[in-house]
């Protein structure tokens, strides 16, 4: 299984995943042109794309969806509530024949890939993360959540790879010039994971199979790659773990990650 986070942040989110038989995108928050340009840089393309899995309806996750569905013979997967909550400008340009509804905690099978959506805590209508199984490997994909419930830990633990939100540094957020209501929203259980929360959750989730951790949806104004990695280093040390045992990468808004092979 191969994947790349080709854009991650408040300006647009897209992740590409490929197996021997299947190609999917998770989210479609970049323009169709940008997705193609970034994939080309990785010597990849959208030919024979099997589907797009949407996490929630916020613009940075769906902005390019209507154009992509008009250009390609493929299907979008999302919950019915998320579909109903799409902005009218996007929804009116999507043919219902290209929409397939998913339900949290009910598996979807596409060729050789099994995808399990699960509910996450965000100020969206019906946000989900995904656990993806293929070729004997497991990827957990979680962005845009304020916390992880304990009931889901068993389902999420010991993945081969994680794409996991690490959105903000607490000090940088609360000393920023953002309005206080926005700071509260980001720091709430319906907001985003801080570097600290991300690292503490991840320290409990990693297992003997875990090799790859990609930190996602990092704030440009209230985070840095160094702050995120330093926090992970400190927290992992508290748990008797070493970040040097993992390939820890911070995804960016403008440049795709390398193509990870797990």
Q: What is the DSSP letter of 194?
A: B
Residue 5 phi/psi, 5-degree rounding, is -85, 105
User: Phi and psi for 259 in degrees, rounded to 5?
Assistant: -85, 105
Domain boundaries, the chain: 2-254
* pLDDT tens by residue, the chain, 262 residues: 999 999 999 999 999 999 999 999 999 999 999 999 999 999 999 999 999 999 999 999 999 999 999 999 999 999 999 999 999 989 999 999 999 999 999 999 999 999 999 999 999 999 999 999 999 999 999 999 999 999 999 999 999 999 999 999 999 999 999 999 999 999 999 999 999 999 999 999 999 999 999 999 999 999 999 999 999 999 999 999 999 999 999 999 999 999 999 9
Beta bridge partners of 131: 116, 140
Q: Are strands 51-53 and 23-26 parallel, antiparallel or unpaired?
A: parallel
202-224 per-residue burial string, b: 16 or more CB within 10 A, e: under 16: bbebbeeebbbbbbbbbbeebbe
Contact indicator for 12, 35 with CB cutoff of 8 Å: no
pTM score of the predicted model: 0.96
Of the candidate CATH numbers 1.20.58.760, 3.60.15.10, 3.30.70.260, 3.40.50.720, the domain formed by 2-254 belongs to: 3.60.15.10
């Amino acid at each position: 299984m191969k994947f790349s986070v080709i854009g991650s942040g408040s300006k647009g989110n897209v992740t590409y995943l490929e197996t021997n038989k299947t190609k999917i995108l998770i989210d479609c928050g970049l323009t169709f042109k940008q997705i193609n340009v970034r994939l080309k840089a990785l010597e990849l393309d959208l030919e024979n794309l099997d589907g797009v899995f949407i996490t929630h309806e916020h613009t940075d996750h769906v902005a390019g969806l209507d154009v992509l569905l008009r250009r390609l013979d493929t299907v979008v997967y999302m919950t019915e509530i998320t579909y109903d909550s799409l902005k009218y400008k996007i929804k009116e340009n999507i043919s219902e024949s290209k929409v397939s509804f998913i339900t949290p905690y009910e598996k979807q099978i596409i060729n050789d890939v099994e995808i399990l959506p699960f509910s996450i805590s965000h100020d969206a209508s019906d946000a989900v993360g995904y656990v993806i199984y293929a070729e004997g490997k497991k990827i957990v994909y979680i962005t845009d959540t304020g916390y992880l419930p304990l009931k889901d830990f068993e389902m999420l633990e010991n993945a081969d790879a994680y794409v996991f939100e690490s959105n903000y540094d607490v000090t940088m957020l609360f000393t920023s010039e953002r309005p206080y209501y926005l700071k509260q929203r980001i720091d709430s259980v319906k907001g985003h994971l801080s570097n600290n929360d991300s690292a503490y959750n991840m320290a409990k989730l990693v297992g003997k199979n875990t090799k790859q951790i990609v930190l996602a949806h990092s704030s440009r104004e209230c985070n840095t790659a160094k702050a995120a990695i330093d926090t992970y280093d400190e927290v992992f040390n508290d748990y008797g773990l070493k970040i040097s045992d993992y390939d820890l990468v911070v995804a960016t808004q403008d440049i795709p990650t390398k193509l990870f092979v797990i």
